[in-house]
Structure 1
Amino acid sequence: MPGIYQNYLKNPYSQCCSALYQLREDIKIRCSLVSAIIYHENINLLYAIYYQIQFCLNANRYNLNPQNIPYAAKGSKTAKVLLLIPGQGASVAQYGFLTKKLKDISDIHLFSAKDSYIKNDPIPTRDLQDRMEKIAKLFLDKNYESVEFSLIGHSLGGIRAFQLALDPFLKDPRIKLVHLITLASRLSYTKPRQIYDDLMCKDQQKKINANLFRFVQQRYEKNGSVTKVHTLSAGKNDWLLDPEDSYIPIEVRRIDEKCLTFPQTCHLSILFSSQAVNATVDIIRKWKQQI
């Protein structure tokens, strides 16, 4: 430590210039990120604010997170639960347009998780596991024999869902994670998209690539028996990630797994795109029809 102070005292001007340069570069990167969001998303930021206001006024809009679960009807053995996982720094309000569309699908129970990103745990899944087990208990206590979960995750939410699908660690065998949909989520990290990319995803890079490697291994070893994964991408207009990074490899992709691109959307606007949301609803409808 004394050596550091001695070096600083010997050349304070150089140290000061270095610190100022680093500060300037940091500000430059953050300004680039803000500019990209405003440039690409513009009106979609207003949509996000609109749905956030709606959520604040009525958090249980469209029967989100119901607590009074009725007893299982005669012949209803499995409860199907859809769990919405927000992206980093966001809330479930970002799914306002989707939840509005989902309200017409009967027998799908809609719940949400929270963003729980921290630097020490950049892809948190333990809280998702706990959330699923608490939700499942609501149904198992009402005479359901089992509970099937489908997860929908945007951006980091999809990364969390994907990681959880590799190791669900659900204590009760009656609880199953069978299905997930990712929206503009980075499932591999090949290269930074822009200068601000590392600011958002650098701490997740190693784990993202390790997860994809494990996923491919599981598909080969278990002959495709892992959770079904559908990927929806914003394409080249995504200001955060390359569309190729949001797909699962074609060689391990099941024939019934959707891999869709919506070129007119961006990283956030995919949540407010009628095409993308309708495609998501169609996937959910087909899952609901499966026995």
Structure 2
Amino acid sequence: MDATLQYLLGLLDLEPIEQDIFRGASHDWVVPRVFGGQVAAQALVAACRTVPEERLPHSLHSYFLRPGDPGAPIVYTVDRIRDGRSFTTRRVVAVQHGQPIFHLSASFQPAEEGLEHQEPMPSAPDPETLPTADELLPRHAHRFLDPAVVDLLLEARRAIDLRYVDEPPFATAGRPREPRSQVWFRVNGKLDGDRDTPVAHLCLGTYVSDMTLLDSVLLAHGRGGWTVGDIVGASLDHAMWFHRPFRADEWLLYDTDSPSSQGGRGLAHGRIFTRDGRLAVTVMQEGLMRVPRAGRA
């Protein structure tokens, strides 16, 4: 297993400090705030720790309340809202410095047979034909507000093999196009042993789901995002529906689009497909999308 994947799995292995209370660390690379996908994944881990193994999350709904401090631990408290015959509900609050920074509600269900259909998987080139982050990001370093951000992004994504199907927003700033983005992703390495569990794959998928979701909003307006300094952005909320099993260590296609942006906010919709065409996850997120004052007409 790749060392960076081991490190990421370590971040998701929360420390129990009391019944239904857990503590998590953050990435040790320097960033302005805790990565939202990390907080969401850790909160889901905390919720899963209080639910029987045969019940897996089928949906989560969450809000980012305050920026997280990457230099301080995060405490997750779990409320056992309901334990029903078919569904289990948990509420998780993430706290730093005595204040809530994130709130998540998740619903769990045991495996069950039922009606089944899905949207077809969109076409996309094979991931092996696309450039890696190490190949793509340095090529566009001159576009960034601070070229040192390249090293930051590479370090942040070292555990994730993420490949853009088309050029990302930071490479196309100034050229609006269709509000749609596609990336292939998988974790760098194979999960094995006691770490190879359905919950681990679900939580890793949650972690990655916050990485490129708002790109489609930026593309619609020819904006490059915070990396080029033409947008002040942040995740405001995050919702996921888990439809079918998937492995985070095998290629997954993340197809995203943006139905609307207004009022300093942008809405993004995403679908995660397995390589053989099964719709595994649906994602929705609204994000802060403010144009810096100096850039306004």
Verify same fold: TM over 0.5. Answer: no
- Indicate the structure with greater strand content: 2
Q: If you compute each CA radius of gyration, which structure gives the higher value, 1 or 2?
A: 1
- Indicate the structure with greater helix content: 1
State the TM-score, normalizing by the size of structure 1: 0.27
